[in-house]
Structure 1
Amino acid sequence: MKVLVLNSGSSSIKYQLFETHDWAVRAHGAVARIGEALSEFKESWVDADGTRQTQHVERAIPSHRAGIDHIIASLRTNRVIGDISELAAIGHRVVHGGEHFKSPTIVDEAVVAAIRAVTPLAPLHNPANLEGIEVTRRLFPQVPSVAVFDTAFHQTMPRTAYRYALPEWLYLEHRIRRYGFHGTSHHYVAKRAAAMLGKPLEDCHLITLHLGNGASATAIRDGNSVDTSMGLTPLEGLVMGTRSGDLDPAILFYLAKNLGLEMTAIEDLLNRQSGLLGICGVNDMREIDRMAEDGDDRAELAIGITAHRIKKYIGAYYAELGRLDAIVFTGGIGENSMEIRCRACEGLETLGIKIDDRSNFCGEHRGERCISTPESQVRVLVIPTNEELEIAQQAFDATVGVARATQ
């Protein structure tokens, strides 16, 4: 059996096809620029001889339905799947599940309505996620569609962590609270960290740091998320590629009152013009590292602010957890930036956190690894995330669980 994982964006669809017996990726690819005059389709697959094949096609793909049709037709043409009946499930990434969803959920009309109801909390993401779900349910009603929510892993947070100090009616009537995101990634690397530590996840206290263009930190106690840096939306928390992260909310009033900015302009400013881009004009940490090495002061400042914010969250979450088994770095920056890892942990030796400079050097080794010294009381781990695999396994488990329950 196989599981197809879809990540539907506003003008794109990314996909991976997994074999369930060994969770190997049989095919992956992406449809980009959906609805434009010329769309792009990139794919890679393993043929019957075990050879990796690739293809790049440009053609008009006017809609998500056409995009999914194109993906399925390609999988069939390349003989990666022979028939739709080979699919045990189709797993869908859904950014926001509100308080409704705490686990992967097989989609029915009630689930679609619940996802649509929280669209105001994720207006850029949930409509696109729903588009992919609704198309696959129409095309393949015999295959279970399973929604896997970025927010689900964080639904174990206590109310002391997720409630804002706002009037209660805003929570009761409008569900304004902290939800957190990147939950699929945090859950995946937490499980891998537990395996590296040789302990059950339920016995682990971890701080996981998903650092990429979007970035978030999570405190995990006994395998459960008890606090996370993102809030009602993905804007809160760490410095990100183009998002500001934490700031004084009165800045919004100042921008409106003294600069005459409308709320749409302020939203765009904080989400798309701030973060690393706002500090130094670039939002790619690889380029920022190169600029800093060449003496660019703004690039150096961007690195410093980013590491400073990460270190603050490490300290806060360490205090919240009481004890700490490991800190986990993941995401494009977390996995690849030696400088960020070094600076984020610098000066924390008295807390039992000490990075080994040689181990921290990436070199050719990009897989799972420990970068702390042998005497470090807290292990510091680098673990590449694999959200698609986590979605595939959760989707499969959800369908198997339902099948067993109905037997």
Structure 2
Amino acid sequence: MSVAGELRLGIRANLAQFSLLVAVNALVGGELGQERTVLPLLAEQTFHLTGYTFLLTYVLAFGITKAATNYVAGIFSDRYGRKPVLLAGWLIALPVPLMLIWAPSWGWVVAANVLLGINQGLTWSTTVIMKIDLAGPARRGLAMGLNEAAGYLAVAVTALATGYLAARYGLRPAPFLLGLAYAALALGLTTFAVHETRDHARLEATQHTARADGRHDHLHADLTDSQVFAHTSLHEPALSAASQAGMVNNLNDGLAWGLFPILFATTGLPVSRIGILAALYPAVWGLGQLVTGPLSDRWGRKHLITAGMGVQAVALALIAVADTFAVWAVAAVLLGAGTALVYPTLLATIGDVAHPAWRARAVGVYRLWRDGGFAVGALLAGIVADLWGLRAAVWVVAAITAVSGLIVAIRMYETHTSAPLWEKGTS
């Protein structure tokens, strides 16, 4: 973290803390992954829910809560520091698996997902912010690739493990005991081993140099919360294009989480095979980011994002027309690859444009819109599925994804340049 008492930027200079935060974010992903395979099946088989819109209330509750909490996490991280926000997130995670195990009604599941949304908003946002703080500008894409890879590989591994546990021991309680172990371990690591990183952002702010083309001259250090929100949401072309693309990405993920297991089950696939399909998509997504994150540091951000949105649209169309395990597996791999191209690159884009003085708030706003996609996806997919069927819902989301890619192609400019916004720290 420091040499001779001095703070330094760069992954190598902060390797111990950076690696610890990668491990902590894997536990964040695992906490989410405990639900991916089991909860849609629990809704149908235990609580006997029939309407897709009603079934997806847990995704809606999660998405709304996580989106709002992301915004709060960004503001609080700038105001009070990163570590207190991370600690609060893990304390809130502890009751979630217990509520899912003992839930006597669907309302308990929805309430558990409200807490899960708060946990994910506080913990995942903060680990993103802390890694950007430590990494500095030269390896921002690599930092985000490692962060998101750890989280989504953990989602995949946990989805696969819970599918196995559910097939062998039943839908409750065995699958959710993993989530309880993850939360307890992460709380201990955060309390005793994680260090505050806000001073690294302050160090980077002192090294600010203006972009040569003058594009960001209006994005000075002392923007208010409302100005940060407006720039990230609407006014700044790269930030706003990234925000809408992030929302559509998680709209896809909300669809995959809530309806894909049910679609796969309509052909009579056993729970174990549904678990494999549920794990394939986040596994490729997670592993792929180990390549796409650093690739965006070399090739730039915009074209990877545009290509990724197109690949996702094709994958969703393939899922809509397929009815066999093999074809769905190919589509899941494609969907994961497309998402890997986009996910860390969008976060790196936010880091490229936002000034270190308000970068945590910009990340919070971006993640507000991105994770709002869970809620939009739950509502849209549920309503369309109830009216016209599961496959129609997938087709609608595929079309939206293609349009989102066009918006990025038209509106976003390249944000990673050979002369970056901030002077390079030690890498």
Asked if these proteins are the same fold (TM beyond 0.5), I'd say no
Higher strand share: 1
Larger Rg: 1
Higher relative contact order (CA 8 A, sep 6+): 2
What TM-score do you get using the length of structure 2 for normalisation?
0.28
Higher helix share: 2
